[in-house]
Structure 1
C-alpha cells in the first residue's frame, strides 16, 4: 500500500518549532543589539552594535510549557479581537446577506464569462482585503461551478475565481484585521497605516489575477479537452445549488456592514483607533445586524458564540506562534538570529534586501499557513532586519503580506485551499499546474512593488 506524505497540523508544527527554538537557545550564542528610541517613540535596533552576552541564563525544558500561557497573555488583545470579529462575521453570515449578494451579482452577470470572472474575482478580493474573509466563500463553490460549466468553462476556472480573488485580497491586505493589523502591531506601526499605497497596488494585482483566470477559461471554451480536469469524474459539476434571494432586510444588513467599514477607516485614519475601539465596533455591528434581521437575542448570542468558537483554533495558533519568539527572547538569541539573517542583506542595495525579505516570507508560508501565526513568527525578525538594512517597517510588513497572501493559493498546508479543492474534486497536482504560473507573475509584481515602496520611502 502506498503512503502519502502528510503535513502535520499547524499546531503540531508550531510546537515542533517551539522545541527547535528552545534547542537554538542552547546551541546559539546569546547576543543583542543596542536600541534607541526614534522620533516616533519606538525602539529600533542600531546597525553595527551587535555583541555577544557571556553570562546568559540557560533555559530549562519546562520553559517550553510556561512560555505558552505567558505568550497568550502578551497577545491577549489580538486574541480577543480575533474572537470578536469571528462572532460578528458569523452573525452577518447567518442573515444570508453575503450569500444573497454574491449570488445576485453572479446571476446578473452570468451570461458574460468575462464579467462573471472579473466581478467574481473583484468581490472575493475586496472582501478578503478588508474583512479577511476566506472560509466563508466555501458555500459559493457549487453555484460558481454550475455557472462556469454552463458557460463552457470548467471547475478549475470556477474555483480560480474564488481562490485567486481571496488570495489577491490577502496579498494586498488593504485593511485585513487577521494579517495586516497583527503584523503592523508587532512592527509597532499604527494598524491600518499606509493604506493609500496598498489601495493603489490592489488594482494591478487584481488585473493579473483576472487575466490569468480569463485566459485559462477562454482556452477551455475553445477546446474542452484543454481543461486540466478533463475526464476526471470527481471534478464534474454538482447539482445546482440555490442561494437565498436578496430581500430588503439583507440589503439593510449589507448597508450596515458597509457603513461599519467606512467608520472603521475613519476611526483608524482620523482618530487613531486601535483594538479596543475596533473590537467595540464589531460588537455594535453584530447587534445592529441582529436587530435589522429581527434575530432573537438568544439566537444572536448563540450565533456570535459559535462564530467566535470557530476562530478559537486561530487564537491558540497566535499564542503558540508568539511562544516561539518569546522563547528566543528569553534565551537572548533572537538578536543573534536577526544578525545572521540580516548579514547577507547588509551592504546590498535596500531594494534587493526588500526583495530578499519577500522571498523569506514566501518560503515561511509553506510551513505556517496561518496568516496571524506567521505574523507572530516572522515579524519579530523581519522588522529589526528592516531597521538594519535601511528599510522602513511598513515595507517589512509589505513583504510579509505579499508572501502570506499570494502563497496561500498554492501551499498544500492551507486548510481553506485544500477544503475548496476537495469539495470541487480537483486534484492538487492539476490545481498546481493552473496556479503556479500565476504565482510567478504575482511574486514578480510584488518584487516591483517592494522596490517602488523602498524608493518612495513607504511609511
Structure 2
C-alpha cells in the first residue's frame, strides 16, 4: 500500500515539506515520535504497528540526514518500550494479571514510572547515534546499505520546493481519513492483522485512483511492495514454526517447570531477577506476549507465593523479560519483517541495539528489586 502511495508522489511531497520545516531542528522529531509510538503501544499493546510506522518515517529520516537504523529504532524501540512497560496493555499486562488472579491493570503507577525511565533512556541512546550519523554519515552502520535511499530522498540536488496537485491533495486527505478509520478500528473494534490488511488494500486502490493512477500502475505498486516484504514473510513463517513445535510438542511445559524449580532455591529479591531471566529465555521460543503469559504465568504466579515474591512483581518480571527481547531475537517474526522493510541487516541491528538492550535489562532488574523490596502488590 505504501508503495502505491509512493507512486502517487504524495509521500515525496510530504517528506520534502517536513524536511524543510524541521531542517534546523530535526532532533525534535526523534523524541516526539518515540514518545508517541510508545504511548500508543502501551495503551493497545500492538508492537506490530512498527511495520506500519517504518515506511512512513523512513523517507523523512533519510532526508533529514539520518539513516535506516534511526528510522527502524524509532519505530521498533518506541513500540516495544510501550509494550514491555504495559501501562494499560491488554495483551501482556492485562492477560498476565488475570491469569495470576490480580485485578486487571492494578499497579499502574509503578509501571508508569518504568515507562518514563525506559523512554528517556531510549531517546538519549538513539539521539546519540543519530547525531553521530548526521555529523558524518560514513559513521552509519548501514552506510553502504543506504546508498540508494540517500540518492532517492537526500542527494537529488533538487532545491525547488514540491507542491501537490489538486488530485494529490484530495488523495492526501483521503489517506488521513483512512488512518483515522484504522485507529478507530484497532482501538474501538479490536482490529488486528486481517482487518488492517484488508483496509490497507482498499486504501491503496482508492487513494491511487483519486491521485490519478490507473489500475495497472496500482497493481504494479502492490507487486513491488510484495517483493520488498517477501523475505520478511518467509522469516515470519520459519520463526513461528519454532514456537509451534515447542508448544505442540509440550517441550515448553518441561522447560518452564524446570526453570521455575531453579528459581525456588533463590531468596525473594534474587528470585524476582531469576524470573526475569527465565522469561527472557522463554521469549526466544515463544515470541508472543499472550502466548508466553498463558504458558508461564500459571506456573510463575503460585511459585512466586512459595518463594515470597509478590504476584505483581512476578507479572512485571514476565512483562520486562518478554517485552524488550521482541526486537532482539530472530524468532520474533514481526521484528524480522520490520528489519526487512527497513533494509537493515540483522547483524548490523545487533551492533546498534545490544548496548541499549543491556541498558533495558539493567533498568528491568533494578525495577524488580525495588518492586520486591517495597512488596509491590
- What is the aligned counterpart of 2:305 among 365, 379, 387? 387
- What is the aligned counterpart of 2:113 among 200, 212, 215? 200
Q: Secondary structure at the match of 2:273?
A: helix
The number of equivalent residue pairs is 301
Alpha-carbon distance in 1 for matches of 2:178, 2:343: 33
2:336 corresponds to:
418
Q: Contact (CA 8 Å) 1:383, 1:393: kept in 2 or not?
A: yes
Q: Deviations over 1:303-329 (max 9, x none)?
A: xxxxxxxxxx9xxx999998788996x
Q: Contact (CA 8 Å) 1:321, 1:376: kept in 2 or not?
A: no
Alignment of 1:373-384 (within 5 A): 373-384=291-302
Q: Deviations over 1:399-432 (max 9, x none)?
A: 0110111111111111111111101211100000
Q: Contact (CA 8 Å) 1:155, 1:237: kept in 2 or not?
A: no
Alpha-carbon distance in 2 for matches of 1:339, 1:135: 29
Q: Contact (CA 8 Å) 2:68, 2:146: kept in 1 or not?
A: no
1:137 corresponds to:
50
Q: Does 1:220 align with 2:136?
A: no
Alpha-carbon distance in 1 for matches of 2:255, 2:141: 46
The TM-score with structure 1 as length reference comes to 0.57
1:310 corresponds to:
none
- What is the aligned counterpart of 1:127 among 18, 30, 40? 40
CA gap of 1:377–1:217, structure 2 versus 1, over 3 A, is same
The TM-score with structure 2 as length reference comes to 0.69
Query: Which structure 1 residue ranges, 5 or more long, are not aligned?
Result: 1-99, 262-280, 285-294, 296-312
Alpha-carbon distance in 2 for matches of 1:335, 1:367: 11
Query: Which structure 2 residue ranges, 5 or more long, are not aligned?
Result: 1-10, 154-167, 192-201, 203-236
Q: Deviations over 1:199-258 (max 9, x none)?
A: 121100000111111010011112211100111258735957x9974689959958x959
CA gap of 1:282–1:326, structure 2 versus 1, over 3 A, is farther
Alpha-carbon distance in 2 for matches of 1:430, 1:335: 32
1:171 corresponds to:
84
CA RMSD of aligned residues (A): 3.8
Q: Does 1:341 align with 2:262?
A: yes
Query: Which portions of structure 1, spanning 4 or more consecutive aligned residues, are displaced by more than 3 angstroms?
Result: 106-111, 233-240, 242-254, 281-284, 317-328, 333-339
Q: Contact (CA 8 Å) 1:354, 1:395: kept in 2 or not?
A: yes
Alpha-carbon distance in 2 for matches of 1:158, 1:248: 21
Q: Does 1:369 align with 2:290?
A: no
Q: Secondary structure at the match of 1:458?
A: coil
- What is the aligned counterpart of 2:269 among 332, 351, 354? 351
Alpha-carbon distance in 2 for matches of 1:405, 1:213: 19
After TM superposition, give the deviation of residue 120 of structure 1 in Å. Answer: 0.8
